[in-house]
Amino acid sequence: MTHQQVDGLARKSRYPVVVAFLAYTGLRSGEATGLRVKDFDPLRRRVNVDNNAVTVGSAIIEGSPKDSESRSLPYPAFLDLALKAQARDKHPRQLLLGNGWTHMPLPHSKSGWLLRAVGKVHASDPSFP
């Protein structure tokens, strides 16, 4: 996607910070959902991925990332303020994204929040990928 397409999708989404974060870091949605404030390093502009959150039935279960490999990934400077806002006033063990206590819903492939955002973008731009 182009920068404009990512921006358009983020604006139509219920979770614009998450859309931009996923698009510009390449993280899997479960990895982003499982991030804790302690994993966020704004001084180095990096996140440490050592956790994953997956949907099992109707519950979100935490575990190791794919291939059980922890890694550190950079994020672009233009996301810095939005991510700092996500971390503000949270304990290091709280979830970075969302309210800190409840995992953000993972995007369901047939009816989830991301698919709804894509549908909204398609309504105004049928060429959207």
Report yes or no on 128 lying in a domain. no
Report yes or no on 80 lying in a domain. yes
Report yes or no on 101 lying in a domain. yes
Structural domain total, the chain: 1
Looking at per-residue pLDDT, the higher value among 111 and 90 belongs to 90
Report yes or no on 22 lying in a domain. yes
Domain, as residue range, for 79: 3-111
The residue with tokens 């995992």 is: 103
Handedness of CA 117, 62, 66, 49 (dihedral sign): positive
Report yes or no on 121 lying in a domain. no
Q: What is the pLDDT of residues 33-75, one digit of tens each?
A: 999 999 999 999 999 999 888 888 878 888 887 777 789 999 9
**CB contact set of 99 (below 8 Å; sequence gap of 6+):** none
